[in-house]
Structure 1
Amino acid sequence: MNTEHLTDVPREREPNEANVRALVEAFYRRVDDDPLLGPIFSRALIGRWDEHLAKMTTFWSSLVLGSKQYRGNVQEAHRPIDDIEPRHFARWLSLFLNMVESRYEPAAAVQFMEPALRIAQSLQLSRFGWDYQIPAEQQALLAALKRQRTGDAPEPRFPERPDAEPFPAKFIGKSADEK
């Protein structure tokens, strides 16, 4: 898969079927190219990438657009993948949230970000046990997004970050570049 630069796509004011599909396709190109996540996804999806992209487009359209077409169990879909560690969740979230932020205006981005963080939290607790401590940065970002959605914040208050730093700030563990 080819890597697409995040800045090559204008930011959308609101999600629709076409830009959700484009988001999913671009995101999973990044995942496939990622040195940490790529091998896990390649093993899990060997010969099934097209099916996965279609399913993820339906999944995100159901969540964000309310299409209610997705039929599946997120927990069961991830259960067979044995080698997932906390750093994989951190990397997935970082890539996804960065991609969403680059493609959507803040009010639209929240529609993706909040469910992504909630689903990640659910998967993390299911995978690592109910006593697993969700990273503080992940909890803070979810709280900020909830405030944005409920109108408790006049505008999005995403964490400050230097130019070119991945969004959000490092959640936990080592980055894909560290050993």
Structure 2
Amino acid sequence: MSPAAAPASSAADTRHAEPTEDNVRELVYAFYDRVRADELLGPVFDEKLAGRWDDHLPKMCRFWGSLVLGTKTYRGNVQQVHQPLDGIEPRHFSRWLFLFLDTVESRFRPAAAVRFMEPALRIAQSLQLSRFGWDYPIPAEQQALLERVAPRRHPKNDVDDAHAHRPRGEPFPAKIVGRATDGDA
């Protein structure tokens, strides 16, 4: 699937309408299968998790269950765990977000998918800020992904008033801090 494409909804849509413990587990395992097979991310994860995938995947199920289902079973510090990773660049975050979004969208309907994507974007932004500082250049592919997830608002007359509390031009669900690569955002 291209970054600009999104799954079409239809009467035969088999994607989940709501996250459950079982489908969160399926999502996590499917996503990390893709990460492990990815040319950019696979080596980074394999270096860190070699021989420990059987411990890591249940932990990620607890993490996403805590965020999306409110189970509160995950205990850990996301910033601290990710700081010792050497060689990580903005493109790694872009690729992670793309694979995650693509996997979420293929398994969940839009309203449920947002429940995963909002924290994913917030966490990625927080990790990027701590690693690269406030003025890191947002890679073009990440900017395209943000537009795919949350197109910028249109002028007031084109937007319903239910979302009028968001600043004009800001993507939903989270304001992304950094510099757009084309200098206009």
TM-score for the superposition, normalised by structure 1: 0.73
Q: Distance in 1 between matches of 2:19 and 2:129?
A: 29
Which amino acid counterpart does residue 117 of structure 1 have in structure 2?
L
1:131 is matched by which residue type in structure 2? D
Whole-Å separation in 2 of the counterparts to 1:88 and 1:19: 26
The answer for unaligned runs of 5 or more in structure 2 is: 1-6, 8-12, 153-161, 165-179
2:32 is matched with which residue: 14, 17, 28?
Answer: 28
Q: What's 1:152 paired with?
A: 163
Per the alignment, in what secondary structure is the counterpart of residue 163 of structure 2? Answer: coil
Deviation at 1:55, TM superposition (A): 0.8
Match of 1:13, as an amino acid? A
Alignment of structure 1 residues 107-146 onto 2, 5 Å: 107-135=111-139, 136-137=143-144, 140=147, 143-144=150-151
Q: Is the 8 A contact 1:17 1:61 kept in 2?
A: yes
Instruction: Answer with 1 or 2: which has the greater Rg.
Output: 2
CA contact (8 A) 2:16 2:108 kept: yes
TM superposition score normalised by structure 2: 0.70
**1:19 and 2:23 equivalent?**
yes
Q: Residue 16 of structure 2 contacts residue 109 of structure 2 at CA under 8 Å; is this kept in 1?
A: yes
Note the C-alpha offset of 1:139. 5.1
Equivalent position amino acid for 1:59 in 2 = F
Secondary structure of residue in 2 paired with 1:116? helix
CA RMSD of aligned residues (A): 2.7
* Residue 77 (structure 2) pairs with residue 73 (structure 1): yes
Distance, in Å, in 1 between the alignment partners of 2:87 and 2:79 is: 15
